[in-house]
Chains A and B, each alone.
Chain A
Amino acid sequence: GENVEQHPSTLSVQEGDSAVIKCTYSDSASNYFPWYKQELGKGPQLIIDIRSNVGEKKDQRIAVTLNKTAKHFSLHITETQPEDSAVYFCAASTQAGTALIFGKGTTLSVSS
């Protein structure tokens, strides 16, 4: 089955710096790659996603890149703010309607 690896497990940056989180997946059939932000005691919130027919997607300060050949995808957050502090999860699935397989998460801390 699918296996998703996520790095780093923790990331500390200064406000205004960029943050990058990387994930790799094992199943070449995976074609949907979302990123979720989870705050303490809450459910995951989708922040951006990408599908295999796209190499990069951007939404304001957040961008995701996908390299299908290498089977890895990355989350980029620019101009980080304290409110970006949370746990971020990457995930993968082979098709819409199926379960997501999650990475182990990255705890991002943005200090002001």
Chain B
Amino acid sequence: GAVVSQHPSRVICKSGTSVKIECRSLDFQATTMFWYRQFPKQSLMLMATSNEGSKATYEQGVEKDKFLINHASLTLSTLTVTSAHPEDSSFYICSAWAEETQYFGPGTRLLVL
């Protein structure tokens, strides 16, 4: 199947700093990618839909100015958590469709101290 990668796999940062997470489709092109957030022992919650060449679409309750999404190419979407706070600590996962199947990245564990 298709492969989606994420970098970094884990990151620790201080409160107030910004963190960038990359999501890449390795062997296919993706005009649309999705960003999910998962808190411990909970399900995946859709945060936003990343669209190549246009603005991302955010789910209700997700602050677009806090979670900046850039989909600059057909294989790369980035999520930047701005002015991170401890409550932003979570597991962030991206995904993309290929061959009529949605594939997920390995996730990025963010810990904000």
Report yes or no: B107 in contact with A43, Cβ–Cβ below 8 A.
Answer: yes
Which of A32, A36, A41, A97 touches B104 (beta carbons < 8 Å)?
A36
Say yes or no: A45 contacts B104, CB within 8 Å: yes
Given known pairs A89-B44, A99-B46, the reply for A43 and B93 (CB within 8 Å) is: yes
- CB of A101 closer than 8 Å to a CB of B: yes
One of A54-62, A65-73, A77-85, A102-110 at the interface: A102-110
Nearest A residue to B47 via CB reads: A99
Chain A interface size range: 20 to 34
Select one of B4, B32, B45 contacting A97, CB under 8 A: B32
> B102 contacts the other chain (Cβ, under 8 Å)?
yes
**Contact of B54 with A by CB under 8 A:** no
B101 near A44 with CB under 8 A, answer: no
Q: Show the binding face of B for A, using Cβ within 8 Å.
A: 1, 4, 6, 32, 34, 42-46, 49, 93, 95, 97, 100-107, 109
Q: Assuming A43-B6, A43-B107, what are 7 further A-B pairs, CB within 8 angstroms?
A: A34-B102, A43-B105, A44-B44, A46-B103, A89-B43, A93-B102, A101-B46
Contacts from A to B (Cβ < 8 Å):
32, 34, 36, 41-46, 49, 89, 93, 96-97, 99-105
